[in-house]
């Protein structure tokens, strides 16, 4: 399969960002992530307000804003790994109207582990690399191993917002996963293993 079109689903903290980047490198396709696109435009004025108003509360940014980002990115891409979208059924319908997917995979991680991963996560403000205060410490505290940038906590990785993001996932995004499952398209991958093991399982799911 050349230039595959891959959809990676799963709750916040499941490892979608890390794995999507690796998959995009491996298959030489675009990494399309609504979370990163919105973070880069947090204070952009839209007719629905700024993305920040929703993101800092752990809520979903309104569909028209997100759909536009995704359509523009997918139109330019031959193959892609889509990460963080669709997050509700209406986005899933929109996606269905603009592209066909080759693989739909969900990463499964237990709830307690998600909360621990998210609240302890630190990200590089320069290159976006992820670390963890306990499980994946950088060589020098506060400094990115990859590029030397400063490590920060995302505004929405505090415990209160994390709980709300997980509630929003259960209410809005779990039905998207069930929808692909009912279509018989969904592959489930255990995301509670080492990043390399998860990556191997993802590769196997895409290139059977």
Annotated active-site residue 87? The verdict is: yes
Catalytic member of 5, 22, 87, 117? 87
Is 41 in contact with 99 (CB distance < 8 Å)? no
For 95, phi and psi rounded to 5 degrees?
-60, -40
- The residue (of 63 and 192) whose beta carbon lies closer to ligand AMP is 63
Indicate whether 206 belongs to the interface with ligand AMP (CB under 6 A): no
Annotated active-site residue 111? The verdict is: no
**Interior CA angle at 180 toward 1 and 28, to 5°?**
30
Annotated active-site residue 121? The verdict is: yes
Is 164 in contact with 179 (CB distance < 8 Å)? no
Q: Looking at 10, 11, 15, 58, which residue binds ligand AMP (CB under 6 A)? A: 58
- The residue (of 103 and 176) whose beta carbon lies closer to ligand AMP is 176
Indicate whether 66 belongs to the interface with ligand AMP (CB under 6 A): yes
Who contacts 78 (Cβ-Cβ below 8 Å, separation ≥6)? 3, 29
| C-alpha to C-alpha distance for 128 and 198, rounded to whole angstroms | 20
**Interior CA angle at 56 toward 54 and 174, to 5°?**
65
Residue labelled with tokens 């415990």: 159
Residues 81-140 that bind ligand AMP (CB under 6 A): 84-85, 87, 91
Residues 148-177 that bind ligand AMP (CB under 6 A): 156, 165
Residues acting as catalytic residues: 16, 87, 121, 154, 165
Q: Name the residues that contact ligand AMP, by CB under 6 A.
A: 12, 34-35, 38, 54-55, 58-61, 66, 84-85, 87, 91, 156, 165
């Amino acid at each position: 399969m050349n230039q595959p079109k891959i959809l990676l689903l799963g709750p916040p903290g499941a490892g979608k960002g890390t794995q999507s980047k690796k998959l995009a490198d491996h298959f030489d396709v675009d990494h399309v992530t609504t979370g990163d696109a919105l973070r880069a435009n947090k204070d952009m004025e839209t007719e629905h307000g700024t993305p920040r108003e929703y993101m800092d509360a752990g809520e979903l940014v309104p569909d028209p804003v997100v759909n536009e980002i995704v359509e523009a990115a997918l139109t330019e891409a031959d193959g892609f790994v889509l990460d963080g979208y669709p997050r509700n059924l209406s986005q899933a319908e929109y996606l269905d109207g603009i592209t066909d997917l080759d693989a739909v995979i969900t990463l499964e991680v237990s709830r307690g582990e998600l909360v621990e991963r998210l609240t302890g996560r630190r990200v590089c403000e320069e290159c976006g690399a992820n670390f963890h205060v306990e499980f994946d410490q950088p060589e020098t505290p506060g400094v990115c191993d990859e590029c030397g940038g400063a490590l920060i906590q995302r505004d929405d990785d505090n415990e209160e917002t994390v709980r709300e993001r997980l509630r929003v996932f259960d209410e809005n995004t779990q039905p998207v996963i069930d929808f692909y499952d009912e279509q018989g398209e969904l592959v489930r991958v255990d995301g509670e293993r080492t990043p390399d093991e998860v990556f191997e399982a993802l590769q196997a799911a895409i290139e059977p």
